[in-house]
Amino acid sequence: MSLSYEFSIGSVRAKEKNLLSQAEYEQMLMLKSEGELISFLKDKGYPEGDSIEEILKARQEMMWKYIRSVAPDMVIFEPFYMQSDIHNFKTILKGVMFGKEYDGLLLSPATVSTDVMRKCIEERKFEKLPGWLAQTAAKAYELLAHTKDARLSDGALDRALLETLISMSKKSGSAFLVKYFNTMTFYADIKISIRASRTKTTMEFLNTALCECEDFDKDKIVKKIMAGHDQLLKYLEGVSAYDCKKAIKLYEERAGLFEKFVDDRLMAAAREMCRLTNEGPEPLFGYYIGCEYERRAVSMIASGIRTAASPDSVRERLRETYG
């Protein structure tokens, strides 16, 4: 029997109740050892494991198994898989070219086999990669080989991904995906722009890395970057979209505050457009995003326990929850 979104939404609404609450995060912040955290997570339905990393990996596999069991069409998740593709390609490219180990850094699920990526890089033949990636992969290889500039190579790959995500979101008919990926791209552009205005940046890098998106005037931004940091900030303070003035203020104060702000804005979009709707694929997107944020939060808390960081210092880095 084919699945329907009506069925999947009913199922995912029940599943959402198992996501950790803010109160449970507070309990975890008070734990003193990784063993205590593992025990706490086991009581909350997490799988067995000898380490947090092992448990989180198993938990992620459970999430995808569940989503596959209820989603009418897994193609809708390709935009999220593709983010793993870009991460994996950048990781393998640097690993192959600079002789570094990378197996433990690879992400899944993805749309492209990491073995295929490795072979393409080693043989310098990129035709077997998806169309959206093949040409840029070849360009990124050449940039890294000839300039040794990983930032330039990464910029080309990140832009190709963001352009593809925006294009796919428009074709999907999902207003949430359009907002989500345009928001992601806007803030990525802002971060690149501010960094570039502080350093000696070439037009080649700006044209390679910056991506067109809603409410981002690339040509005007490039001119302001070249005019200097103060000129760029003055211009950005007048941009009303995406609460840009607050975003750049946080970035100037501390990059970590900016990253948290961006993540919280993306989560707010998910709560508004996925948690509160009862049709289409959006509730599935929201559940996935809620699970991913939970995974990152648990990892952050575990890191805090290992380094004996104060609960307050970890708490201020935790993102908003989906609940």
The CATH code of the domain that includes 290 is 1.10.132
Domain for residue 57, yes or no?
yes
Residue 85: which residues within 8 A CB-CB, separation 6 or more?
110, 111, 112, 130, 133, 161
In terms of residue numbers, what domain contains 4?
1-73+281-323
Quote the number of domains for the chain.
1
Closest CA to 298 of 58, 1, 15, 16: 58
Rounded Cα distance, 181 and 169, in Å: 7
Rounded Cα distance, 297 and 46, in Å: 14
Domain for residue 63, yes or no?
yes
Domain for residue 191, yes or no?
no
Rounded Cα distance, 155 and 162, in Å: 11
Domain for residue 132, yes or no?
no
Average pLDDT over residues 168-180: 96
190 contacts 235 by C-beta, under 8 angstroms: no
Domain for residue 19, yes or no?
yes
Q: How far is CA 160 from CA 170, 185, 211, 289, in A?
A: 16, 11, 8, 22
Would you state the structure tokens that stand for residue 72, as one six-digit string?
A: 């009418």
Question: What pLDDT was estimated at residue 2?
Answer: 60
Q: What does the DSSP 8-state code read for residue 192?
A: H
Rounded Cα distance, 277 and 93, in Å: 41
pLDDT exceeds 60 at position 1: no
pTM: 0.94
Using one digit for the tens of pLDDT, what is the confidence trace for 291-312? 999 999 999 999 999 999 999 9
Domain for residue 179, yes or no?
no
59 contacts 295 by C-beta, under 8 angstroms: yes
Question: What pLDDT was estimated at residue 211?
Answer: 97
Using one digit for the tens of pLDDT, what is the confidence trace for 247-280? 999 999 999 999 999 999 999 999 999 998 999 9
Domain for residue 208, yes or no?
no
Domain for residue 82, yes or no?
no
Q: Where are the beta strands (DSSP E) in the chain?
A: none
